[in-house]
Amino acid sequence: MADAVDLKEFLAGYLAEVGEHLTTIGTNLLAVESALSRGESRPRAVRELYRSLHTIKGLSAMIGAEPVVALSHEMEAVLRAADKSGGRLSGTAVGTLVEGVRAIELRVRALAAGKNLAPAPPRLVDALAALVTGAEQAVAPQEIQGIEPDLAGKLSASETAQLLQGLASGRAAWQVEFVPTPARIAAGLGITAVRARVEEVAEIVRTMPRALPATSEAPGGLAFVMLVLSDRPAAEIARAADTVPEALVAVGVRRADEESLDDDDAAEGFAGETALAAVRTIRVPVERLDDALDKLSALVVTRFRLARVVSDLAARGVAIGELGHIVAESGRQLRDLRNAFMRARMVSVAELLERVPLLVRGLRTSTGKDVKLEIDAGRAELDKAVGDRLFPAIVHIIRNAIDHGIESPAERRAAGKSESGTVRVGCFERGDNQLELSITDDGRGIDVAKLASRAGREVPDSDAGVLDLVTLRGVSSADRATSTSGRGMGMDIVHRIAGELGGELAVHTRPAAGTTFVLRVPLTITIVDAFTLTCSSRDFAVPVASIEEIVEVADDPSQVPLVRGAVPGTRLFERRGEAVPLVPLHALLGLAAPGVPPRKALVVRLSGQAYAFAVDRMIGRQEVVIRPLEDPLTRVVGVTGSTDLGDGRPTLVLDLLGFGRTLARQEARS
């Protein structure tokens, strides 16, 4: 008898795939709800919901997650009934399905944490069963005109409804046939590539394989028929499918028999439509990428050591000749390799924010507020490790914006605003290695006076002072705690996350106009470009992304000394009409003063205020491998980690933004 299979080895793959499907389900549920508010249906979204849940049910059964199997089975039944009625779901059904998704998410998280799974909630199971009973009203059968009866018979009622809806909106429906040939395959035009091209100009309702007699034009004896909806000219669709406009067949709709979506059809559709698109993708556990990056990091340090040795040889008069060129070339190749690894770890910010609309929907329901969400993520990307750390901060800010910032519909009417509030999330890449993400609401703004009173402080008069106030642990403007927020912990957590990532948090608020929080974080936190410098005969590194400018400074008697709340020796100097504190870095680090006045300073900007940190001299710019300080007892404000510059000795990586935050707090309290 074969040994029992240890299902734990499949858990990582299960969690990754189920997580992707849950995100897709959330997106499609919101699409169905949005269409419902316009009096429309979304048959295709209903089918995609069914397919995702069908896959989750199968995967969960494979590893024995029976509560997830039970929930997904009941939700499948609701969607099958909706498919029979042409893809129509009621508002009650959407709300109950959202509740089902949350119940599945909770059990998947428990599975990831190694905890026992709670059984499926009986009340929720009963509610889903009641939806099935009330939804089994099939639409009038339809007949597809323009395609062969055997192909038309494969269309489900919801696909027919999708065609009807598209035609009613003025779009044209076409039957497009693609025959794989050796010439097309050699040119990279397989069905996956052609589907991707067609999807750019049309909405694909269904892709169906069809057997053909084997001929010289169809040596494989196989064709693919795509049924599409589009408002583009036929010539564009034909060009995308690598055919001629005359080969497209116009499609119309009349009465005929229908075939409902069943398990086999869903499985076939999922494999035929979704799996084909994933042929060129490989799911790799993040742990493997982390391991590969660790090995690359070791290679970077070794290259530093090699460069040092070659430089020492050259300094002693040894003719290094070709060796110098090899070292330089290896450095360029190593940078290219590093960039390739970074791209492999990058995820789209839009993908990171896919879960936000479902979060906002839940907050609308729990708070009773009408809130619109606008997301503009563009094409920005960031390291997955950074994204995973950043997402909880985004959730905290959005929760606060809706619970504290956005007023109730009645309050907004009284203030002369529209009843519907707006939360905008936008982001873009700054420079080579920094992402700026802003979250803005058009609510009442932060009650700064109320917060200051509860904290026992004076009312701040700057954005930096407001930030210091809202990030105080245990201080909240809410009069009572709710299930959403109000415990005075959220913004403290956000501030800490930003600092741990080597980034910064900023805030700007206006009474009755709203609040904007801005998070600036590095795109990656492992291998970064850094400036190396000397301060009091010791070497340090500073990430390039945090530096605004490197300036020349002089010991000018006209510079104004700062006394209150400042580091000893701090002076003000003028920089393009702006008064900038010039802080001696050695004093911040507790080191002895250098023998000669510093000539260089690194400028950073925090919440609009610039700070300059004076150093002895700049060494240069190079890639460094940052090893974060994991032990809480070794964490120090202004130090983000350590690195090896090739001499075998640990070199501290400084967080000048962290020093700037400390100085801003001192100024606010002085």
Of 143-157, 344-358, 452-466, the least confident: 143-157
CATH 1.20.120.160 fits 7-135, yes or no: yes
Least Cα distance to 543 among 621, 608, 427 occurs for 621
pLDDT digits (tens, 9 = 90+) for 291-348: 887 788 778 878 878 888 888 888 888 888 888 888 888 888 888 887 787 778 888 8
CB contact at 8 A, 252 and 219:
no
157 with 86: CB under 8 angstroms? yes
Helix (H) or strand (E) holding 157: helix 157-168
Extract the tokens encoding 473.
Answer: 């642990």
pLDDT higher than 50, residue 374: yes
Structure tokens that stand for 214 in this block = 């084997």
Judge whether residue 57 has pLDDT over 90.
Answer: no
Q: What's the average model confidence in pLDDT over 134-144?
A: 47
Alpha-carbon separation of residue 640 from 240, 252, 342, 388, 525 (angstroms): 51, 64, 20, 19, 10
Angle at 57 between CA 52 and CA 59, to 5 degrees: 95
Residue 61 CA from chain centroid, whole number = 29
Spatial separation of the C-alpha atoms in residues 479 and 476, rounded to whole Å: 8
The tens digit of pLDDT for each residue in 66-80 reads 889 889 888 888 888
**pLDDT for 341:** 77
Q: Which two tokens stand for residue 24?
A: 């897709």
Q: What is the pLDDT of residue 516?
A: 94
- Position 439 scores a pLDDT of 94
Domain 143-259, classified CATH 3.30.70, yes or no: yes
Distances (CA, A) of 160 to 61, 78, 251, 483: 32, 19, 11, 43
Bridge partners of residue 636, in order along the sequence: 639
For strand 578-584 and strand 609-615, is the pairing parallel, antiparallel, or unpaired?
A: parallel
Is 583 in contact with 611 (CB distance < 8 Å)?
yes
Burial of 175-214, coded b for 16+ CB within 10 Å and e otherwise, reads bbbbbbbeebeeeebebebbbebbeebbbbbbbbeeeeee
Q: Which residue matches tokens 């330089």?
A: 328
Pure H helices in 189-321: 191-199, 234-240, 263-269, 276-277, 286-315
Domain 348-522 adopts which CATH fold? Heat Shock Protein 90 (3.30.565)
Question: Which sign does the torsion angle of CA 29, 33, 35, 40 carry?
Answer: positive
DSSP readout, 311-367? HHHHHTT---THHHHHHHHHHHHHHHHHHHHHHHHEEEHHHHGGGHHHHHHHHHHHH
Of residues 647 and 501, which shows the higher confidence score? 501
pLDDT (average), residues 22-51: 83
Q: Name the nearest CA neighbour of 374 among 442, 446, 445.
A: 442
CATH code of the region 527-669? 2.40.50.180
Instruction: Characterise 456 by phi-psi region: left (phi > 0), alpha (psi -120 to 50), beta (else).
Output: left
Q: How many C-beta atoms lie closer than 10 Å to residue 88's C-beta?
A: 23
Task: Give the pair of three-digit tokens for residue 618.
Answer: 């700049």
Q: If you average pLDDT over residues 255-265, what whole number do you get?
A: 41
CA angle 649, 655, 657 (to 5 degrees): 165
User: What is the reported pLDDT for 259?
Assistant: 40
Give the residue extent of every domain in the chain: 7-135, 143-259, 286-343, 348-522, 527-669
| Whole-angstrom distance, CA of residue 42 vs CA of residue 89 | 9
Using the structure block, give the residue that is written with the tokens 């006394």.
563
Cα–Cα distance, 429 to 382 (Å, whole number): 9
Locate all alpha helices (DSSP H) within 471-601, ordered by sequence: 490-500, 585-588
Average pLDDT over residues 372-378: 89
**Which residues 6+ apart lie within 8 Å of 170 measured at CB?**
231
Residue 638 identity (one-letter amino acid):
G
Nearest to 489 by CA among 399, 621, 581, 386: 399
Is residue 230 predicted with pLDDT exceeding 80? yes
Percent of the chain with pLDDT over 70: 83
CA distance 547 to 558: 26
Contacts (Cβ under 8 Å, ≥6 apart) of 67: 107, 117, 118, 119, 120
Residue with tokens 């995702």, as numbered in its chain: 52
Q: What is Dmax (Cα atoms) for the chain?
A: 93
Tokens of 35: 């269409």
Q: 261 falls in which pLDDT band (50, 70, 90)?
A: very low
Which DSSP category does 17 fall into?
Answer: H
Q: Would the pLDDT of 157 be above 70? A: no
Place of tokens 């009963």: 126
Q: Are 528 and 538 in contact, with CB atoms under 8 Å apart? A: no
Q: Cα(162)–Cα(143) distance, rounded to whole angstroms?
A: 13
Q: Does residue 625 contact residue 300 with C-beta atoms inside 8 Å?
A: yes
Q: How many residues does the chain have?
A: 670
Give me 252's structure tokens. Answer: 């119309």
Residue 211 confidence (pLDDT): 78
Q: Check whether 438 has a pLDDT greater than 90.
A: yes
Average pLDDT, whole number, for the chain? 79
Q: Give the distance, in angstroms, between the CA of residue 116 and the centroid of all CA atoms in the same chain.
A: 29
